[in-house]
């Protein structure tokens, strides 16, 4: 008799690797072990230990090397976390091993000493339930969350799309909750490790955080609260692409907890599950301004003017006169999007990757939006040597001068977007100035986060039409929720007005803003059903080498999957499927450790 161990290791293959025992250590499921792999060694987690007769190992030609040693004497990982890793790895088609690095703080894999995981299982008598909290105002929803958390002293999760919002919620916790809560730190290093240990030891049992806290080792979870559950930020930006709401749903199910889906507006999936009605109305707070009647302001060095309507100009002046805060928003960062030569009309592209560059005013740089490469804006055209390089469309930085002229004071105009240095001190300084004298904040949608810190009297979207041109199946939703957020987010939303500058006033889509989000979702879901789009079916993006793509395409098509391959020369394609399970079975052979030399495809599952 000998013991075989299945060991889950950080890596892109989908299955655990099998090792034999070393005769000295007998680690259980959930223990860390050190194992050899290739010419190196790594730390993994035992997911199964079984006794077999000696010859089986050789017969089945397992990669049967022996474990080096056991790191833990007792499990450091709970049964539930292991199960959640496997579920998420399956559903999001990335494999559990790929999730390990984001699921555990890095000292975990350095073999740092960890406390024993409690052996808890959910109470038989409990049942899993789902509740929705849809108050339009953040403060109303947050009050409900506090009530829910205060009702029992067992484990709870509250997750926010942004860490700032999690921190704000944490700061306002009543003392009784705060003493058993933890604000999950950003990053994956020492501080995350300390938090991980405190939660595993049961010293803290309410976890408040953003994407980084999904696998916090809580046990006996009773409440899982997902704030702003439809926010696309819950798709992880980096591979592996999981969705936070789904992962927390698995955890809530396991513990038979109450899953609370909150947010001023539901996700498509939640709306499909329960046809809620929106009770919030915009009243007279939402104003459409016809862009074709706008004044066209020349922007130095940019071909197209910046159109600003009288509605924006006069209401901005009115608000500023009362020391109010106004936002001018445009989701085009930089001074101009696109730079071209007026003589030969060639577009300035990134020298590294060939993407069209944008112009940022700081040091007159040409910035690549794709790879981030920065170069000096050339004085002469690299193509024809002509001396007239100009911007094509004005970006948000181009509105700064106009804003300053309008208020007659440059000190009243602030910028808030990705290109601005984001130190906390500069943010606080800006907020102080705004609090005292009001002014205009020019920025991208990111600027809306300032509504959490300061009452904003007026939000002006300078070009809402471009939001609807982005090449994604859910653009209409993204634009709708962004406007909804502009109307309701943060402090004193009832006193805020929102102006949308658009060339197409009175479209069906815009009218739904006045009637509430259920009207929007009803028609949007009907359209998506026609096209077999999420949430009706899963849309899966697959990115791989061309050769592997062709291999995958032929297998998937022969099995009857509907594949979309818009660019046969690239390694990218899409598959629509009713269940990710069936797709997973079809592509599983591509994710075996034996294919390490060929490389592994990356898949992204769109669920909403
Ligand atoms: Zn030229
Ligand atoms: Zn580039």
CA 389 / ligand 1 centre spacing (Å): 8
User: 174-195, pLDDT tens digit by residue?
Assistant: 999 999 999 999 999 999 999 9
Question: CB neighbours (10 Å) of residue 594?
Answer: 9
> 122 in a domain, yes or no?
no
Domain CATH for 495: 3.40.50.300
Tell me: do 521 and 564 sit in the same domain: no
> 276 in a domain, yes or no?
no
Question: CB neighbours (10 Å) of residue 599?
Answer: 13
Q: Pick the range with the lowest mean pLDDT from 202-206, 424-428, 478-482, 511-515.
A: 424-428
Residues flanking ion ligand 1, Cβ below 5 Å: 341, 343-344, 381, 383-384, 386
Mean of all residue pLDDT scores within the chain = 93
Q: Provide the CA 85 distance to its chain's centre, in angstroms.
A: 19
> 463 in a domain, yes or no?
yes
The phi, psi pair for 275, rounded to 5°, reads: -75, 80
CA 349 / ligand 2 centre spacing (Å): 8
- Residue 196 banded pLDDT, cuts 50, 70, 90: very high
CA 85 / ligand 2 centre spacing (Å): 35
Six-digit token string for 41: 């060694």
* Region of residue 438 (left: phi > 0; alpha: psi -120 to 50; beta: else): left
d(CA 117, CA 107): 16
Tell me: do 434 and 512 sit in the same domain: yes
d(CA 507, CA 79): 52
CA 347 / ligand 1 centre spacing (Å): 8
User: 516-527, pLDDT tens digit by residue?
Assistant: 999 999 999 999
Say whether 192 sits in a helix, a strand or coil.
Answer: helix
CA 367 / ligand 2 centre spacing (Å): 8
Domain CATH for 600: 3.30.70
Furthest C-alpha separation in the chain: 86
d(CA 394, CA 104): 44
User: 275-286, pLDDT tens digit by residue?
Assistant: 999 999 998 999
* DSSP E strand boundaries for 120-220: 129-133, 155-159, 181-183, 206-209
The answer to whether residue 399 scores a pLDDT higher than 50 is: yes
Residues in the chain: 608
- Within 179-243, residue ranges assigned H as helices are 190-200
Percent of the chain that is helix, strand, coil (3-state, to 5):
35, 25, 40
Which residues on neighbouring strands pair with residue 2, listed in sequence order? 52
Positive or negative: CA dihedral 452, 454, 459, 461? negative
The answer to whether residue 59 scores a pLDDT higher than 50 is: no
Question: Checking DSSP bridges between strand 602-606 and strand 295-297, what pairing results, if any?
Answer: unpaired
Tell me: do 497 and 409 sit in the same domain: yes
Q: Pick the range with the lowest mean pLDDT from 50-59, 70-79, 174-183, 287-296.
A: 50-59
CA 495 / ligand 1 centre spacing (Å): 50
d(CA 255, CA 447): 38
Question: Checking DSSP bridges between strand 538-543 and strand 602-606, what pairing results, if any?
Answer: antiparallel
The answer to whether residue 362 scores a pLDDT higher than 90 is: no
Question: What range does the domain containing 442 cover?
Answer: 283-333+395-526
Q: Which residues contact 458 (CB under 8 A, 6 or more apart)?
A: 315, 316, 319, 324, 325, 326, 327, 496, 497, 498, 499
d(CA 409, CA 107): 52
Tell me: do 544 and 521 sit in the same domain: no
> 39 in a domain, yes or no?
yes
Q: Which of 526, 554, 570 is the last residue of a domain?
A: 526
Confidence (pLDDT) at 63: 54
Six-digit token string for 168: 């704000």
Q: Which residues contact 470 (CB under 8 A, 6 or more apart)?
A: 478
Q: Residue 349's closest CA among 386, 358, 380, 387?
A: 358
d(CA 410, CA 402): 10
- In the predicted model, what is the mean pLDDT of residues 353-376? 85
Which ligand approaches the C-alpha of residue 358 most closely? 2
Tell me: do 572 and 492 sit in the same domain: no
- In the predicted model, what is the mean pLDDT of residues 439-461? 96
d(CA 498, CA 515): 16
CA 296 / ligand 1 centre spacing (Å): 27
Q: Which of 264, 293, 315 is the last residue of a domain?
A: 264
Which residues on neighbouring strands pair with residue 261, listed in sequence order? 132, 226
Q: Residue 403's closest CA among 328, 500, 304?
A: 328
> 533 in a domain, yes or no?
no
Six-digit token string for 356: 């069209």
Say whether 312 sits in a helix, a strand or coil.
Answer: helix
Domain count for the chain: 4
Which ligand approaches the C-alpha of residue 350 most closely? 2
* ipTM exceeds 0.85: yes
Domain CATH for 52: 3.40.1440.60
Positive or negative: CA dihedral 271, 274, 277, 282? negative
CA 97 / ligand 2 centre spacing (Å): 31
Tell me: do 427 and 487 sit in the same domain: yes
Which ligand approaches the C-alpha of residue 355 most closely? 2
> 389 in a domain, yes or no?
no
Tell me: do 291 and 247 sit in the same domain: no
The answer to whether residue 58 scores a pLDDT higher than 90 is: no
Tell me: do 195 and 81 sit in the same domain: no
Which ligand approaches the C-alpha of residue 378 most closely? 1
- In the predicted model, what is the mean pLDDT of residues 529-552? 95
| pLDDT cut 90: percent of the chain above it | 82
Which ligand approaches the C-alpha of residue 352 most closely? 2
- In the predicted model, what is the mean pLDDT of residues 522-548? 96
Tell me: do 145 and 260 sit in the same domain: yes
Q: Provide the CA 93 distance to its chain's centre, in angstroms.
A: 17
Which ligand approaches the C-alpha of residue 348 most closely? 1
Which residues on neighbouring strands pair with residue 540, listed in sequence order? 575, 605
Tell me: do 200 and 255 sit in the same domain: yes
User: 587-601, pLDDT tens digit by residue?
Assistant: 999 999 999 999 999
d(CA 101, CA 96): 10
CA 300 / ligand 1 centre spacing (Å): 19
Tell me: do 470 and 596 sit in the same domain: no
CA 338 / ligand 1 centre spacing (Å): 14
Are the beta carbons of 601 and 552 closer than 8 angstroms? yes
Look up tokens 């130095």; give the residue: 300
Say whether 248 sits in a helix, a strand or coil.
Answer: helix
The answer to whether residue 28 scores a pLDDT higher than 50 is: yes
CA 232 / ligand 2 centre spacing (Å): 25
Q: Provide the CA 1 distance to its chain's centre, in angstroms.
A: 48
Question: CB neighbours (10 Å) of residue 147?
Answer: 9
| pLDDT cut 70: percent of the chain above it | 98
Are the beta carbons of 159 and 216 closer than 8 angstroms? no
CA 304 / ligand 1 centre spacing (Å): 18
- Residue 254 banded pLDDT, cuts 50, 70, 90: very high
Tell me: do 407 and 462 sit in the same domain: yes
Which ligand approaches the C-alpha of residue 339 most closely? 1
CA 591 / ligand 2 centre spacing (Å): 30
The answer to whether residue 314 scores a pLDDT higher than 50 is: yes
CA 341 / ligand 2 centre spacing (Å): 19
């Amino acid at each position: 008799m000998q013991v075989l161990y299945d060991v889950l290791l950080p890596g892109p293959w989908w299955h655990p690797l099998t090792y034999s025992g070393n005769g000295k250590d007998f680690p259980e499921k959930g223990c860390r072990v050190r194992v050899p792999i290739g010419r190196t060694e790594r730390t993994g987690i035992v997911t199964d230990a079984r006794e077999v007769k000696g010859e089986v190992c050789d017969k089945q030609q397992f990669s049967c090397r022996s474990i080096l040693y056991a790191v833990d004497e007792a499990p450091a990982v709970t049964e539930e976390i292991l199960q959640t890793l496997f579920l998420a790895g399956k559903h999001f088609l990335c494999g559990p091993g790929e999730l390990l690095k984001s699921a555990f703080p890095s000292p975990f894999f350095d073999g740092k000493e960890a406390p024993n995981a409690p052996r808890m299982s959910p109470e038989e008598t409990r049942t899993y339930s789902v509740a929705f909290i849809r108050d339009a105002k953040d403060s109303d929803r947050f009050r409900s969350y506090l009530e829910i958390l205060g009702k029992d002293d067992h484990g709870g999760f509250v997750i926010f799309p942004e860490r700032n919002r999690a921190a704000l919620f944490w700061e306002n916790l009543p003392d009784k909750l705060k003493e058993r809560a933890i604000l999950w730190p950003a990053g994956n290093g020492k501080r995350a490790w300390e938090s991980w240990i405190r939660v595993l030891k049961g010293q803290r049992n309410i976890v408040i955080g953003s994407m980084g806290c999904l696998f916090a080792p809580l046990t006996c979870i009773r409440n899982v609260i997902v704030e702003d559950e439809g926010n696309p930020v819950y798709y992880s930006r980096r591979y592996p692409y999981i969705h936070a709401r789904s992962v927390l749903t698995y955890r809530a199910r396991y513990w038979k907890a109450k899953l609370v889906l909150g947010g001023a507006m539901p996700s498509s999936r939640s709306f499909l599950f329960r046809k809620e009605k929106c009770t919030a109305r915009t009243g007279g707070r939402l104003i459409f301004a016809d862009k074709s009647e706008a004044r066209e302001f020349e922007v130095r060095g940019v071909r197209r003017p910046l159109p600003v309507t009288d509605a924006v100009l006069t209401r901005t002046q009115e608000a500023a006169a009362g020391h109010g805060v106004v936002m001018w928003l445009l989701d085009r960062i930089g001074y101009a999007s696109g730079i071209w030569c007026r003589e030969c009309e060639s577009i300035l592209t990134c020298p590294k990757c060939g993407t069209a560059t944008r112009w940022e005013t700081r040091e007159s740089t040409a910035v690549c939006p794709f790879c981030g490469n920065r170069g000096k804006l050339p004085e002469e055209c690299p193509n024809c040597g002509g001396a007239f390089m100009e911007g094509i469309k004005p970006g948000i930085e181009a509105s700064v001068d106009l804003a300053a002229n309008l208020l007659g004071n440059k000190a009243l105009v602030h910028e808030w977007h990705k290109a601005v240095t984001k130190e906390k001190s500069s943010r606080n300084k800006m907020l102080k100035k705004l609090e005292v004298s009001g002014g205009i904040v020019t920025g991208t949608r990111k600027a809306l986060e300032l509504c959490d810190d300061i009452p904003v009297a007026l939000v002006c979207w300078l070009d809402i039409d471009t939001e609807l041109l982005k090449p994604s199946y859910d653009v209409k939703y993204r634009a709708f929720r962004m406007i909804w957020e502009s109307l309701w987010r943060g402090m004193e939303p009832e006193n805020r007005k929102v102006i949308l500058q658009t060339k197409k006033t009175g479209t069906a889509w815009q009218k739904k803003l006045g009637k509430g989000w259920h009207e929007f979702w009803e028609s949007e879901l009907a359209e998506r059903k026609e096209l077999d789009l999420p949430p009706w079916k899963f849309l899966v993006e697959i990115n791989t080498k061309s050769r592997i793509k062709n291999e995958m395409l032929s297998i998937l098509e022969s099995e009857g999957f509907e594949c979309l391959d818009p660019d046969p020369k690239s390694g990218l394609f899409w598959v629509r499927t009713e269940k990710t399970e069936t797709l997973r079975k079809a592509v599983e052979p591509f994710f075996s450790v034996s294919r390490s030399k060929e490389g592994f495809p990356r898949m992204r599952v769109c669920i909403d």
